Structure 1
Amino acid sequence: MIVTVTPNPSLDRTAQLSELRRGEVLRASRVRLDPGGKGVNVSRALAAAGSPTVALLPAGGPVGERLADLLAPEGVPVVAVPIAGTTRSNITLVEADGTTTKINEPGPEISPAELAVLEQRTAELAARAEWVVCCGSLPAGVPDDFYAQLGKLARDAGAKVAVDSSGAPLAAALAAGPDLIKPNLDELAELAGRPLTQLGDVVEVCRALVADGVGAVLVSLGARGAVLVDETETRHALGPLVAVRSTVGAGDAALAGFLHAGGTGPRALRAAVAYGTAAVAQEGSRMPAPQDVHPDQVRLLAADPTLTLSGAAA
């Protein structure tokens, strides 16, 4: 079983527009409502693929109830920790050419007592899980080292730990030696404290992270695919070009594909890129179904250190 922990889930409303023009009244051609949050998306993609999963999350107010309601038809079991605040709502604006603009609310403040329950539920679920996946931003009231704390709890219970976050929470999580981290290019550059303009720069940073105790680093590179660095090898995978309908959740789908395919090695890397590629062809933050995913169309390559990277966040 794969347990996802999403401290700051959301209800995602996606509007399709012909063009985003500031200061004007715009009419959406289509609107879609999806359960959101990085870990929630990972569980959605895993459930669609038939992998046992549980989504652990704080939920408050009518939005929190609606979030759980939307996950039920997708076959995602939810363990909700009640909170006094209201779960956030996010807005995504997608233009005809695939350009995506996101407006994310900060989320509710979580009290120390609510946070303690979230930690307790994590430890309980980790005792029967293969992976605990810590995902997304942290709301107010949650310390930066929260994912490091959850990682220790999960490890003590016998589970492997993956972290998909950014900024201070990701940097703090490294101290616990997670088995896997999944940044995108921008997040890895922030972690490194410098621009990463070529694939060689990415590989150099990933190898340093592995040397410091991270089990493996899976970096999503948008249209440039993904790179996987662990103790034994460095691999680059590239998917086919597809028409981009929305980039929201593509990195989450890639992580789900990686874990679904075993969570290690070339086969998992190929699945990660196949899932990420399938996700950008979906509307809103819809996760791909198995029939949308084509690992046989993904090429495994040697990592070319001179490959130029740009616009590769996912």
Structure 2
Amino acid sequence: MITTLTINPALDLYSRVDKVFPGEKLRCEKAKLDPGGGGVNVSRVIQRLGGETTAIYTHGGYTGEVFKDLLEKEGVKQDVVEVAGPVRQNIAITETSSGELYRLGFPGPTLTETEYEDVLTKLNLYKKADFWVASGSIPPGVPNDFYARVAKKARENDVRFVLDTSGKAYSGILEEGAYLLKPNMNELEDLVGEKAGDEQEQKELLLKVLEKYPIKVIVLSLGAKGAILATKGSVRHFPAPTVEHISSIGAGDSMVAGMVYSLSRGDELEKAILYGLACGSATIKSPGTELLQKEDVEPLYQTLLNKVSNNDLL
């Protein structure tokens, strides 16, 4: 089973308008609401792929009730931690005249020490999970090393821990260790405090990190260029499939979901990366906050398998 953790979920509101400009009321189309936030999106994708998952997240306020109902409709198992503040809302608007996507993100409710400790305690119920997947930002009031505390608990319980976050939320994670980290190019600097310009510098930096710290795998997401898979002493680049870019919202979460779901089936790490890339690309071709459809994933995955096999990389 795959357990996901979202300390800062978001009720995502998406709509479209002809043109975005200041000073006037913008007449948008009917809004679409989705339950979002990194770990929740990972669970939603795993559910669509046919995997077994439970989403742990903080729940509060009227927005939390809407959030919970939406997740129930998708059939995702959920285990909430009640907090005083309401689930935050994020807004995404597509300007149809240009195709540009505008995204407004908000910080979320301030959590008390008791509330975020309750989240850590909740994980005690999932010690037999195959993976704990934590993804997304941390809200106000939560210490920067919160995910490192999750990593420590995972290590103590022999659970493989996967993390996808950014900024100061990476604090302490290198020292504490993890099974898999999935930064993008900007987040790599957040993680290690060093810049890496070209691909060769990125590969060298990843190998240095894996040699120094108790991290098993780092997958560096390169967007349309694919991803770099780094394990101790080994690093290689994998391509992404070519798709029409409609919206990148949720693509990173979908990639994580695809990788972890593939690994949970017993697939080799290299194939899991390709499956993750296929899932991320399937979401990129979906509008707004919509995530992938399962029927879009397999053709993209097979294309990547053929491409990589033909180049003798697998």
Question: 1:164 corresponds to which residue?
Answer: 164
> Cα offset for 1:109?
1.1
* Cα distance, 1:56 vs structure 2: 0.3
- Give the 3-state SS of the residue equivalent to 2:241 in structure 1: coil
1:295 aligned partner, one-letter code: Y
Which residue does 1:213 correspond to in 2? Answer: 214
> What amino acid does structure 2 have at the position aligned with 1:17?
V
Q: Deviations over 1:207-243 (max 9, x none)?
A: 1221122111112111111111112532222223222
Q: Is the 8 A contact 1:270 1:300 kept in 2?
A: no
Shift of 1:98: 4.7
Distance in 1 (alpha carbons) for counterparts of 2:124 and 2:102: 36
| Gap runs ≥5 in structure 1 | 303-314
Instruction: Provide the secondary structure at the position in 2 that maps to 1:242.
Output: coil
Query: What is the alpha-carbon distance in structure 2 between the residues aligned to residue 171 and residue 92 of structure 1?
Result: 29
What is aligned with 1:259? 260
Counterpart amino acid of residue 281 in structure 2: T
Cα RMSD for the two superposed structures: 1.9
State how 1:99-248 maps to structure 2 within 5 Å: 99-125=100-126, 127-211=127-211, 212-231=213-232, 233-248=234-249
Taking the aligned partners of 1:193 and 1:157, their CA distance within structure 2 comes to 29
* Shift in CA distance, 151/195, structure 1 to aligned 2, threshold 3 Å: closer
1:295 to 290, 294, 301: 301
**Tell me, what secondary structure is at the counterpart of 2:272?**
helix
Render the CA deviation track for 1:147-195: whole Å, top value 9, x for unaligned. Answer: 1111111222221101111111113222211010011111113334454
Contact 2:217/2:231 (<8 A) preserved: yes
Paired with 2:60 and 2:231, the residues of 1 have a C-alpha distance of 39
Of residues 22-31 and 288-297 in structure 1, the stretch that sits farther from structure 2 once superposed is 22-31
Runs of 4 or more off by more than 4 Å in structure 1?
A: none
SS at match of 2:302: helix
User: Residue 89 of structure 1 contacts residue 105 of structure 1 at CA under 8 Å; is this kept in 2?
Assistant: yes
Q: Distance in 2 between matches of 1:69 and 1:281?
A: 26
| Counterpart residue number, 1:312 | none
Equivalent position of 1:279 in the other structure: 283
Contact map agreement 1:161 1:179 (CA 8 A) in 2: yes
Distance 1:39-1:291 versus aligned 2 partners, 3 A rule: same
- With normalisation by structure 1, the TM-score equals 0.90
Counterparts of 2:99 and 2:40, CA distance in 1: 23
Shift of 1:198: 1.7
Please say if residues 98 and 244 of structure 1, whose CA atoms lie closer than 8 Å, have aligned partners that are also in contact.
no
Q: Is the 8 A contact 2:148 2:171 kept in 1?
A: no
Residue 307 of structure 1 corresponds to none
Percent same amino acid at aligned positions?
A: 34
Alignment of 1:95 with 2:95, yes or no, is yes
Greater RCO between the two (CA within 8 Å, min separation 6)?
Answer: 1
Listed one character per residue, the Cα deviations across residues 6-32 of structure 1 (whole Å, up to 9, x for unaligned) are 100010001223443344433334532
SS at match of 1:189: helix
**Amino acid in the other structure paired with 2:219:** L
Return the alpha-carbon distance in structure 1 between the equivalents of residues 102 and 196 of structure 2.
23
CA distance in 1, matches of 2:240, 2:199: 16
Work out the CA distance in 1 between the residues paired with 2:14 and 2:197: 31
Separation of aligned partners in 2, 1:227 and 1:27: 42
Higher mean alpha-carbon deviation, 233-242 vs 158-167, is at 233-242
User: Aligned in 2, Cα 1:220/1:22: closer, same or farther, shift over 3 Å?
Assistant: farther
Is 1:42–1:252's contact at 8 Å kept on the other side of the alignment? yes
Which deviates further from its counterpart, 248-257 or 172-181? 172-181
Q: Which runs of 5+ in 2 are unaligned?
A: none
